[in-house]
Structures are given as structure tokens and as C-alpha cells.
Amino acid sequence: MRNKNSGFPHSDQHYKREILYIIKIGGNVIDNEKSLHGFLETFASIDHKKILVHGGGKIATSLGDKLGIVSHYIDGRRITDDATIDLVTMVYGGLVNKKIVTTLQALHCNAIGISGADANALPAKKRPVKSIDYGWVGDINKENIDPSIWQILLENKLVPVVAPLTHDNAGHMLNTNADKVASVLAAALAGTYVVQLIYCFEKNGVLNDANDGDSALAYLDMNTYRQLKENKKLFAGIIPKIDNAMDAVRNNVQTVIIGNSDFLVQLINGEGGTQIRL
């Protein structure tokens, strides 16, 4: 367990900038109505500026199956053809985003759903075709994100709920990994707010041993990360998440935590999850 006063914002008297929580939830929470509701209750109660970034969940795949849209993956990334970008726009930008927004509104949290096209919030470049054509996939970087639109929303006490969709400024929605959206958005806003980035998923953090769910590390730095990778101790899917988390730390995001969505209160209080360091 980490010391509560080790760099968490409530112990930091040096900043005049306000605290902003950026919290990312993944598919496992979204697919479970009870988990989602409990999570959103905690999220709604956070008494700071906040942004929720959500992934997609399994519903895009199951709906795609019903519609005869076959999902193709390369290296864990969905290949986004014409039918798939429409599918994820409907599911991520429509169904999932609005389910979260309506639930938060019922919890007296003034949520506003945002895709990357809305208010030009997340401009992106379609990924160039090299050996693989990923289709309608967007690459984003912090330099292209204008903090002012986010400030307008946040300063007016609105709570952005962000679908993992970006756009190319040429009329096309693009599919972008939700962990990446959270990382880049946190980096883009780190000059304006004291950003606390929390990645929530189904495990207690980065595990020292992939087979032991109780082996979450309190901290993970680059050295330990390298060792875990060399010893093949890391479970599938965690590596890109850690890379996104490390990128955020490198870009002046004050605190980056990876932890269990069932324990959001503890993650916020610095009493759980794995804190990512360089």
C-alpha cells in the first residue's frame, strides 16, 4: 500500500491549477449493468472536475454478428472497414455513451457525451497504410487537441463522457483505442489542470505474477516494467495499457494509476492499484 501523502494532489500545495480526474473504464464494466451502475455512482460523487473515457464492450461484436459484420483483428486491434466504423459509431457513440450519460444524469451528475468530432474535441489523422491497412482508425497526439473546448465544458460544470471515436476533419469518424484517448487527452490537459489519470479494469493493478490476482504492485517504474516483460510475467493486453500510462507520466500527468474498477474510491484515495512511474 502506498503512503497517502506520496505525491497525491491533496498533499501538494505548489499547484494553483485545479485538479482534473480523467478516468477510463473498459468493456468489462460496461458489459455488466450492476458493475457499471456501482462504478458510476462513485464517479458521480467525485467532488472535482472530471472526465470519463469509456471503451466499447462486447456489444459491438455481438451486434455486428447479428448484422453480418465480421470483426477482424490484427495484434488485438480491430480492423475498421466501412461497416465497422458505422457499427462502432452507433454502439460506442450512441448506445454505450448515452447509457452512461442518462445514468449519470439520474445520479445528478451533469454529463455530456462527446465523440472526437463533437466540438472538434479529438482531431486525428487516419493511420497511414504501411504493411497493414487498419481502415478507419485514427492516430491522435496531444499537440492537435485544443484544451479550450474541454475548458469550456469543465468550467461550466459539465462532465464530458468520451466515446473512443476521433475524426479526420474531412467528414469521417475514426476508431481510436480508448486507453490511448485517455492518455493523450490527459497529456493535452496537463498544462491546464493537475491531471489524475486512472485506468480502471477488472484486475487489481499490474500484477507481479499474472497467475496471482493478489500480486498487484503498488508502483511500477520503467526498470521493473522491463524486467516483468523480459521474464514474461505480464498478462495479455496489459502492455499497451502500461505504455499509454507511461506516455501520460512522460507528458506531465501528475498521477497515473491502473487498478480495479470495483474499487474506484480507493484508487482515488491512493489506497489501491498500481501507480505508474518513469
User: What does the binding site for a copy of itself look like in residue numbers (CB under 8 A)?
Assistant: 63, 66-68, 86, 89-95, 97-99, 101-103, 105-106, 110-115, 117-120, 152, 156, 158, 165, 167, 169-173
Q: What one-letter code names the amino acid at 70?
A: V
- In the complex with a copy of itself, the residue whose CB is nearer, 123 or 273, is 123
Report d(CA 273, CA 225) in Å as an integer.
Answer: 15
- In the complex with a copy of itself, the residue whose CB is nearer, 119 or 210, is 119
> H or E element: which one contains 39?
helix 33-45
- In the complex with a copy of itself, the residue whose CB is nearer, 64 or 273, is 64
Q: How far is the CB of 107 from a copy of itself (least distance, A)?
A: 8
Angle at alpha carbon of residue 248, lines to 252 and 167, rounded to 5° = 115
C-alpha closest to that of 24 among 49, 56, 72: 56
Contacts of 205 (CB under 8 A, 6+ apart): 216, 217, 257, 258, 259, 260, 272, 273, 274
Strand 274-276 and strand 255-260: pairing? antiparallel
Q: How far is the CB of 95 from a copy of itself (least distance, A)?
A: 5
Report d(CA 205, CA 260) in Å as an integer.
Answer: 6
Q: How far is the CB of 52 from a copy of itself (least distance, A)?
A: 13
- In the complex with a copy of itself, the residue whose CB is nearer, 86 or 221, is 86
Q: What one-letter code names the amino acid at 110?
A: N
Q: How far is the CB of 160 from a copy of itself (least distance, A)?
A: 10
- In the complex with a copy of itself, the residue whose CB is nearer, 118 or 243, is 118
Q: How far is the CB of 129 from a copy of itself (least distance, A)?
A: 21
- In the complex with a copy of itself, the residue whose CB is nearer, 114 or 216, is 114
Report d(CA 90, CA 85) in Å as an integer.
Answer: 8
Q: How far is the CB of 171 from a copy of itself (least distance, A)?
A: 4
- In the complex with a copy of itself, the residue whose CB is nearer, 88 or 242, is 88
Report d(CA 110, CA 49) in Å as an integer.
Answer: 11
Q: How far is the CB of 54 from a copy of itself (least distance, A)?
A: 14
Concatenated DSSP letters for 198-222? EEEESSSSSBSSTT-TT-B-SEE-H
